[in-house]
């Protein structure tokens, strides 16, 4: 795998999103509880953050917990929140010394999250807001429709007609680069309320691989596939 060659390719995506699906199935197939799949899933998230950083990708978005995921069993939701807590520690211990900006998309004011988690997440955002090399956008308690409604409700208070740029500026992802590539693991071919406004011209890469098994090698395959595509943004072919 020639990382330098890949990194210097001008067609490399600048903003990549991961819909990390298949943790539960990965665990059940190994005779483990579903929650173990989320632990391995989190390890893989860390691996891919490092890899994206090595590749010079500027923005990464990770769809970790949707507004619909609260419907899962209490045990599973509790476990995911515990992992979120661990994830914040990883950020604090391993990323604060680096040029990495941390942001979150989603409603983190939700009181179903322990107060300590909400506070630590907000602190990380504040402490890293001036960093520039890599932005990690973790989507937690995130729903694309909820995000658009949030923007619309802020805008109706202003009471003026709005254009695309104005609406974009009221999204959680307001200052991120255009979303180039969305990778979804586990064979499902849908977007599940993930960044509907931002993804109108994104490229999609679907793989049957379950998230904990999604390797760097497969990431390279996804990137090469993406770089071989012609992005026309509505223009004619050729």
Interface with ligand FPP (CB under 6 A), residue from 14, 25, 47, 120: 25
Asked if 41 contacts 80 with a C-beta cutoff of 8 angstroms, the reply is no
Interface with ligand FPP by CB under 6 A: which range of 1-9, 78-86, 128-136, 221-229? Answer: 78-86
Closest CA to 193 of 104, 23, 67, 37: 67
Interface with ligand FPP by CB under 6 A: which range of 76-84, 115-123, 169-177, 223-231? Answer: 76-84
Interface with ligand FPP (CB under 6 A), residue from 18, 84, 113, 226: 84
Closest CA to 39 of 70, 84, 72: 84
Q: How is residue 94 written in tokens?
A: 């391993």
Asked if 173 contacts 148 with a C-beta cutoff of 8 angstroms, the reply is no
Interface with ligand FPP (CB under 6 A), residue from 12, 17, 18, 22: 22
Where helices occur in 91-205 by DSSP H, the ranges are 115-127, 144-158, 164-168
Interface with ligand FPP (CB under 6 A), residue from 42, 102, 103, 176: 42
Asked if 52 contacts 1 with a C-beta cutoff of 8 angstroms, the reply is no
Nearer to ligand FPP, 57 or 80 (CB): 80
Residue ranges in contact with ligand FPP by CB under 6 A: 20-25, 38, 41-42, 45, 64-65, 69, 80, 83-84, 87, 138, 140, 186
């Amino acid at each position: 795998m020639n990382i330098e060659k890949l990194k210097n390719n001008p067609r490399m995506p600048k903003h990549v999103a991961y819909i990390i699906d298949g943790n539960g199935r990965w665990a059940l197939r190994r005779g483990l509880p579903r929650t173990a799949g989320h632990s391995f899933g989190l390890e893989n998230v860390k691996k891919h953050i490092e890899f994206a950083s090595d590749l010079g990708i500027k923005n990464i978005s990770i769809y970790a917990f949707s507004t619909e995921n609260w419907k899962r069993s209490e045990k599973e939701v509790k476990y995911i929140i515990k992992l979120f807590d661990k994830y914040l520690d990883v950020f604090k211990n391993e990323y604060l010394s680096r040029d990495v900006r941390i942001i979150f998309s989603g409603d983190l004011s939700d009181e179903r999250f322990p107060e300590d988690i909400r506070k630590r997440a907000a602190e990380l955002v504040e402490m890293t807001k001036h960093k520039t090399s890599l932005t990690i956008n973790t989507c937690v308690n995130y729903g694309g429709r909820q995000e658009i409604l949030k923007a619309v409700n802020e805008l109706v208070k202003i009471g003026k007609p709005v254009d695309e740029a104005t609406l974009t500026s009221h999204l959680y992802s307001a200052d991120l680069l255009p979303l180039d590539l969305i990778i979804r693991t586990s064979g499902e071919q849908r977007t599940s309320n993930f960044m509907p406004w931002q993804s109108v011209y994104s490229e999609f890469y679907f793989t049957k691989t379950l998230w904990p098994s999604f390797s760097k090698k497969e990431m390279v395959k996804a990137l090469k596939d993406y770089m071989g595509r012609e992005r026309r943004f509505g223009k004619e072919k050729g």
